[in-house]
Chains A and B, each alone.
Chain A
Amino acid sequence: MIFQNAYYLPEAVLDNNNLEMLFPEWKAEAIEEKTGIWKRHCAAFDELSSDCAVNAAEQLFSQNPNLRNQIQFLIFVTQSQDHASPTTACIIQDRLGLKASIGAFDINLGCTGFVYGLSVAKGLIITNPHIENVMILTSETLTKYIHPKDKSARTIFGDAGTANVITRAMAENTGVFEFGTDGSGSEIMIKRNGSFRYPFNKVSALDYDDGYGNITNDEYFRMKGQDVFVFTLKRVPNLIKTVLKRNSFEMEDIDLFVFHQANGYLLEHLRKKLKIPQERFFTYIREVGNTVSSTIPIALNEAVKVNKIKSGTRVLVAAFGVGLSWAATIIEF
C-alpha cells in the first residue's frame, strides 16, 4: 500500500444516551436516525489538537520505527493551534523527534484541510526530487469550542487526530484537484469572537437561541446547519462532476467515493442525489461523529481495514465545509 495512516481518539465519549440525558427532547435513536452518529470522542481539558496529532503519529512510528527519520516535510492541518505564534507544526517537529532538515507549517482549514494538505504534499514531492515522504497531520478539538447548550453542534462534532504519510508513489497516483472557495458564506460556520476582528466583549458572551432551540453565543463555534446543507446541495454535485472531468473519468470509473463525513443524513441525501450505489460510497461516522479535517483520513483508514480500499482501488475524495471551502481529487491506491 502506497499510503500509511493512523488515527487517535480521545478517551472521553459522549454517546446518544448521554445526549438524551442532557436534552430529553432528543431521543438517542432519533439522533442516530437523523445524523448517522452514535458517539463522539471529546478531548480532555488539557489535551490539545497537537497532542491528538502527536499520538496518531506515534502510532505510525511504533508500527514502523524507521519512518521517523524518513519524514521530509511536516504539514499540520488545524484551526486550534497551541499558540498564535509560533506555528504548531514547528513544535510538533521537535516533539516527534523529526529531523531538523525538514520543512514544517500549519494549514489553517477545517473540513477540507486534508484534501488541501494532500494537494500541497503532492506539489512538494513533484517539485522536489529529494522529498519522498510528506507527513500530514490533521487534528481538531472542536468540542472545546461548542456551547454546552448547543445540542445541534454537540450532536455532530467529535475530536480526533490523524497521521498520514504521503509517499512519492501516492503523490504520483493522486490526480488533478478541483478547488473552491466562497467566503461570503463565512458566517454559516464560525467561531466569531475572540480574535482580532471581534474581540471578546460583554455582548459576545450573551447567549441566544438560533431559532431551533440551540443555545449558543459568539464566543463559541456555531453552525447554521440548514445553510450548510443548502451549501452542499449547491456545490458538491458540481464539485464531483468537475473533478471527474478534470481527470477524464466517468462516475462508473470510480471504485469508491469517500466524502467528508459531515453528517450521515446529509451524506445519504448527497449519495442519492448523485446516484452513487451504496456499495461504492464509504461512510464512517457512527463511531466518531464529524471530526472536521480528520474525517477523510479516518474513513480511508477504516476502508482499508475492511478491504474496501486495496492496492489499485480508485478513490474519489471530496471535502466541503467551513470557509466556505471545498476540494476534491482522485487517488489510485
Chain B
Amino acid sequence: MADLNIDDLLLKLLEEFDDIETENFTAETSFKDLEEWSSMQALVVIALVDEHYGVALTGEDLLNCDTVNDLYNLIEKKSS
C-alpha cells in the first residue's frame, strides 16, 4: 500500500481525470465541480483509493466530501 500524502493523492487523481490541468489542481480543488465528475468517475476514485491505500470508500462517503483535502482526510480517518 502506498503511504498516504496529499501530493501523492493529487498525482494519482490527476492521472484519472482527463480534463484538469496540473497547475489548477490543488488540495482545495473541488473535484465534484469538475465537468467530468459523474457516477462513473466516482467508481474510478473508489477503485484508486482501494488499490493504492486499501481503503473502501462508500458512495455516501464520496457524496459527503468535496475537495481533494476532504478526500485525503477521509482516507486517513478510514485507514486508522
Contact = CB atoms under 8 A, between A and B. Distances in A.
B20 interface: no
Contacts of B63: 211
A27 B76 CA distance: 34
- Sorting the interface of chain A by its residue count into under 10, 10 to 19, 20 to 34 or 35 or more gives 20 to 34
A34 B45 CA distance: 12
B58 to A, nearest CB: 5
A31 B36 CA distance: 12
A75 to B, nearest CB: 33
Given A34-B44, A265-B44, A269-B50, A230 B39 contact: no
- Sorting the interface of chain B by its residue count into under 10, 10 to 19, 20 to 34 or 35 or more gives 20 to 34
A229 B59 CA distance: 9
B50 A225 contact: no
Given A224-B59, A226-B58, A34 B51 contact: no
Given A211-B63, A269-B50, A273-B51, A230 B56 contact: yes
Interface of B: 35-44, 46-47, 50-51, 56-60, 62-63
B52 to A, nearest CB: 12
B20 to A, nearest CB: 15
A188 B43 CA distance: 15
Contacts of A31: 40
A259 B13 CA distance: 28
Interface in A132-153: 152
A213 B38 contact: yes
Nearest to A266: B43
Contacts of B44: 34, 265
Given A211-B59, A226-B43, 9 more contacts: A31-B40, A211-B63, A212-B42, A213-B38, A226-B62, A265-B44, A269-B47, A269-B51, A272-B51
B56 A214 contact: no
A127 to B, nearest CB: 40
A26 B51 contact: no
Given A226-B46, A265-B47, A269-B47, A234 B56 contact: yes
Nearest to A272: B51
Contacts of B42: 212, 225-226
The 10 closest A-B pairs by CB, nearest first: A226-B59, A212-B39, A34-B40, A152-B39, A269-B47, A227-B59, A211-B63, A226-B42, A224-B59, A230-B56
B56 A233 contact: yes
Contacts of A273: 50-51
B40 A152 contact: yes
A266 B44 CA distance: 9
A225 B39 contact: yes
